[in-house]
Structure 1
Amino acid sequence: MVLLFRAFSALLSYPTPEMRAALPEIAGVVRGSKLVAARERQELLDLIGEIGAGEQLAAEERYVDLFDRGRALSLHLFEHLHGESRDRGSAMVELKQIYAAAGYDLAASELPDYLPVLLEYLSCRDIAEAREMLGDCAYILNSIARSLIGRRSRYAAVLQALIVIAGESAVGASTVPPIKDRKEILDRDWFEQPAFGAPTAGPPTP
């Protein structure tokens, strides 16, 4: 079992009081994992510190403001590829079959393409399979990471670590310009990117 993926799943999940109470244990997993390089480890620990700091409501608001406000930061992976098209449903059926064949049962409320769910599944598999599956969705992970970096969010640390584990190069933070205002965030979130290949230049700036 790769406990690091379970830790990553928790970090990308809604910060309930129970999740925040488990942060010291999650930090211990991050510190002890050989899959995480020193720089990435410190960035993950900084994220853990941020999630655990301050009032419960503030942690919840930060999370919702990031992940529930637009498509660019959706943690439902197939939304980045298929939007709301019929192809997304077919892809989710196939992924659910992969889970079932491995004996991994989803809760009734869980969608198979939700990144924390995928990471929970990978925590039960060997590292070779984990790297292969992460490699298959590396382009999506890269896109989410860039959106998080543009917002200067510490949550980017989890995506960066996953990209490296998949065998890809982490996103160069210095190459991603900051998103300065709410209108720009909404414009980028709802601009349609191609499902495959290099992203287009994006919407025109006002």
Structure 2
Amino acid sequence: MRWRRHRGAQPGLSEGDLVDTWQVVSLLLDYPDAVLLGRVPMLRGVVAGLPPAQRDPLDVVLDTLERTDLGVLQREYVDTFDVTRRCSLHLTYFSHGDTRRRGVALVEFKQAYRKAGVEFDADTELPDHLCVVLEFGAVQDWATAWHLLTAHRVGIEVLRAGLAQRGSPWLPALEALRTTLPVLDGDDETALLRLVAEGPPQEDVGLEPYAMDPRLNPRPEPADTTALLGPTIPVGAPR
């Protein structure tokens, strides 16, 4: 199933607001740890400068981080993103499932990074991980990330629906991301309904060139976006 969406659409935000939103969402959707909690004051400063459509839902997530025990957050994160299929953070899973076509889609992500001047480190995380794509877009090439995100727009909607069904504390982060992307069109709605009803395609065969890759299975470890792009730059810093 190939998505044909919004190739010519443009973001409705300024570039600064777009990349700041993506950077914050990338951090908030990553595995929660003490480092993330220590960044909350800095993130609040960045979020305060965003338009209300992005600022308000991100403030909700930051409030949750401040008032919830870290152990509780970590258990909920694993139960949500590493166990629940509909809440996968890997974008190609929704359109290709566990089929050999997904291997081709993963290579396309790597090629997009390479064309933008980034050699992806495949030893840390799969290239279609949402946090990786958003980090890449925030600090390296927002236009390429925009293309990857809009090409998998329906998958992001399936993820949002899964988080909404769980009443997940990470749902507002997805809502903030959605405000930066094009709305669904008629074809999108049809594809979304089909995916929600049927789930991703299933074909338990090799995912060349990622066959037998343990990273395709749920795991409790966080995605390490710094291995792709180096240390995270402070959001809101001059570019």
TM-score by length of structure 2 reads 0.66
Give the alignment of 1:117-196 within 5 angstroms: 117-125=132-140, 127-168=142-183
2:91·2:129 contact (CA, 8 Å) conserved in 1? yes
Note the residue ranges of structure 2 that are not aligned, 5 or more in a row: 1-15, 185-189, 199-239
Kindly, what percent of the aligned residue pairs are identical? 31
Query: Structure 1: how far apart are the matches of 2:165 and 2:97?
Result: 22
In structure 2, what is the equivalent of residue 30 of structure 1? Answer: 47
Deviation at 1:52, TM superposition (A): 2.8
Select between 93-102 and 44-53 the one with higher mean Cα deviation: 44-53
Higher relative contact order (CA 8 A, sep 6+): 2
Partners of 2:136 and 2:142 within 8 A in 1:
no
Please give the per-residue CA displacement for 1:45-91, whole angstroms capped at 9, x wherever unaligned. Answer: 11111123232211111211211112100001111111111111111
Are the aligned partners of 1:77 and 1:114 in contact in 2 as well (CA < 8 Å)?
Answer: yes
State the one-letter code of the partner of 2:45: G
* Mean CA deviation greater in 158-167 or 141-150: 158-167
Q: Give the direction of change, closer, same or farther, for the CA distance of 1:123–1:164 in structure 2 (3 Å limit).
A: same
Question: Partner residue of 2:197?
Answer: 202
| Mean CA deviation greater in 154-163 or 69-78 | 154-163
1:87 to 79, 101, 110: 101
Work out the CA distance in 2 between the residues paired with 1:126 and 1:99.
Answer: 9
Whether the 8 Å CA contact 2:21–2:54 is kept in 1: the answer is no
TM (norm. structure 1) is 0.75
May I ask how many residue pairs the two structures share in their alignment? 174
Partner of 1:8: 25
2:72 corresponds to which letter in structure 1?
Answer: A
- SS of the aligned residue for 1:58 comes to helix
Partner AA of 2:157 in structure 1: N
Cα distance in structure 2, aligned partners of 1:129 and 1:44: 24
Instruction: Give the secondary-structure state (helix, strand or coil) at the position aligned to 2:191.
Output: coil
- Write the letter of the residue equivalent to 1:199: L
> Hey, what's the Cα distance between the residues in 2 that align with 1:113 and 1:8?
15
The reply on whether 1:76 has 2:93 as its aligned counterpart is no
Is the contact between residue 87 and residue 162 of structure 2 (CA under 8 Å) also seen in structure 1?
Answer: yes
Query: Would the alpha carbon gap of residues 130 and 106 (structure 1) be closer, same or farther in structure 2, given more than 3 Å must change?
Result: closer
Query: Structure 1 stretch 148-157 or stretch 11-20: which is displaced more?
Result: 148-157
- What per-residue deviation string (whole Å, max 9, x for no partner) do you get for residues 76-108 of structure 1? 111111111111111111110110111223332
Structure 1 residue 129 displacement after superposition: 4.6
Q: Give the whole-Å Cα distance in 2 for the aligned partners of 1:26 and 1:81.
A: 32
Return structure 1 stretches of 4+ with deviation > 4 angstroms: 125-130
